[in-house]
Each structure stands twice: as C-alpha cells, then as structure tokens.
C-alpha cells in the first residue's frame, strides 16, 4: 500500500515560479488503522475491514490515529501565501533567511490576473480587471520590482548588511523557501479551509497541489473518506 518511495523527492509547480516538494513521509493508511487498533492490541484484519474502520474513524472524528502519519514539505511561495499559512499553528516551520542568503532579481510574484474586490465580502476577490488594464498594472509592477531590487543591490554594494538592505524589497510578493511539517489530521484541517471557496486564490493553489499530488496518492483511503465526510458535506451546504 505504501507509496513513500515514489512520492518522497517529488516536486510539483505552483503559481508562476513556486513549487512544493515532499521531503519526507511517515506512515500510510494502514498505520492509521493499526494506531486505532492498539487500544485493544489488535492488528490488520484485511483491506475490507481496515478500510471500513478508517472511514468510521474519520466520520466520527476519532482524530488521534490520523496524527500518526506525518508529511514534511519544502515549499517555495510568496509571503502573501506564508502570511496565511503560518496561522495554522499546528504546523512546524523553518524559513529561508534574508539575513544569510541574498535575494535574486527574479524572486517576485506576478499574479496571472488582477482580481477585483468583492462587493459582498470584505476579504474576498471577485472577477478581474479587463486585460488591457491588467497589462498596465503588470507593467507597473515589473518596474516597481526592478527599481526596488536596484535599490537593494545598491545598498549591498555599499556594504550595507543583508538584514537591513532587504527593507528596500516589496514585502508581500517576495518568494521564500520554507520547510513545513504536519500530521495528516491537521493537514486535513488545513486542506478543508484552504481549498475552500473563501480562501485566497494563491494559497488555494498550494493546498490543491498538496492534496492532489501528495495527500491523495499517499493516503488513498483517507482521501476518499475525507472527500465523503468533509469536502462533499461542505459542498452540499
């Protein structure tokens, strides 16, 4: 059942120049089942009964067995994504530091379209600017990035420390690389929220790639139960 060998080391692209790489994976669907059965020192009873038990666990919110599976990712994403991701405090994070590593001229995010502010929800977008207006903003953004990076580089060339020179760089659009780890239970909570219709498009893109490229292949029974008891119920509401 385990797909660890084929998934670990896999990298999937996200956004214009981001990516997600699975660095490590501990456990599979059977590990979840066996963790539940340790209550009475039981073991696997075959695929049919094992899968039935896993579905029961998820449907009835017996969450601790799902914490026995862990995912560790290496992720490149812009700060506007990390700003939301770190609110999930059950994850463990370690981040690239601009104090140690200088930024490159290409380390900026360009949105594929300029979304409009939603009229009925203060935190959401709705629709996009016409292509011609969007192209003008993208051109202005490119000039802004170029100017900001030139100031950053000029400061470095004058001997200014990396930790201080970086204040010339735009904050929310910079790409950073992080290592992020969590267990399957808390990952499902993250996926439920961040793949949802109220999530910002950029973090939804990362959550969707995690689910499709890593979570579902690694835990096919759990993913099936998650879709039935969590995602489908949300869609029906």
SS3 track for 76-105 = EEEHHHHHHHCCCCCCEEEECCCCCCCCCC
Question: For this structure, is 194 an active site residue?
Answer: yes
Task: Indicate the average pLDDT of the chain.
Answer: 92
Sequence-distant (6+) residues with CB within 8 A of 158 are none
Q: Which DSSP symbol is given to 135? A: H
pLDDT of residue 159: 97
Tokens standing for residue 22: 């699975």
CA distances from 237 to 195, 217, 233 (A): 15, 27, 6
Tell me the per-residue pLDDT of 68-117, one tens digit each, with 9 for 90 and over.
999 999 999 999 999 999 999 999 999 988 888 889 999 999 999 999 88
Long-range contacts of 135-142 (CB under 8 A, 24+ apart): 138/110, 138/111, 138/114, 141/110, 142/110
Q: What is the pLDDT of residue 1?
A: 47
Chain segment 144-161, per-residue pLDDT in tens: 999 999 999 999 999 999
Rounded distance, CA 144 to CA 220, Å?
45
What is the reported pLDDT for 89? 94
Q: What is the CB neighbour count within 10 angstroms for residue 231?
A: 17
Q: Where are the domains of the chain?
A: 4-95+174-236, 115-168
CATH number of 4-95+174-236: 3.30.1360.170
Catalytic member of 147, 194, 204, 234:
194
């Amino acid at each position: 059942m385990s797909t660890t060998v084929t998934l670990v080391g896999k990298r999937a692209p996200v956004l214009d120049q981001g990516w997600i790489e699975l660095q490590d994976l501990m456990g599979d669907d059977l590990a979840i089942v066996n963790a539940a059965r340790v209550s009475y020192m039981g073991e696997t009873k075959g695929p049919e009964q094992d899968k039935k038990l896993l579905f029961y666990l998820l449907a009835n919110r017996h969450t601790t067995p799902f914490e026995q599976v862990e995912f560790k990712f290496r992720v490149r994403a812009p700060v506007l994504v990390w700003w939301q991701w770190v609110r999930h405090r059950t994850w463990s994070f370690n981040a690239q530091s601009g104090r140690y590593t200088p930024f490159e001229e290409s380390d900026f995010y360009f949105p594929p379209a300029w979304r409009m502010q939603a009229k009925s929800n203060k935190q959401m977008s709705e629709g996009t600017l016409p292509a011609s207006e969007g192209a003008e903003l993208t051109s202005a953004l490119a000039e802004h990035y170029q100017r900001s990076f030139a100031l950053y580089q000029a400061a470095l060339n004058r001997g200014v420390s990396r930790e201080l020179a970086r204040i010339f760089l735009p904050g929310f659009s910079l790409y950073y690389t992080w290592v992020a780890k969590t267990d399957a239970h808390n990952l499902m909570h993250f996926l439920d929220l961040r793949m949802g219709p109220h999530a910002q498009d950029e973090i939804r893109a990362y959550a969707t790639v995690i689910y499709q490229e890593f979570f579902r292949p690694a835990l096919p029974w759990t993913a099936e139960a998650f879709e039935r008891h969590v995602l489908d119920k949300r869609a029906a509401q």
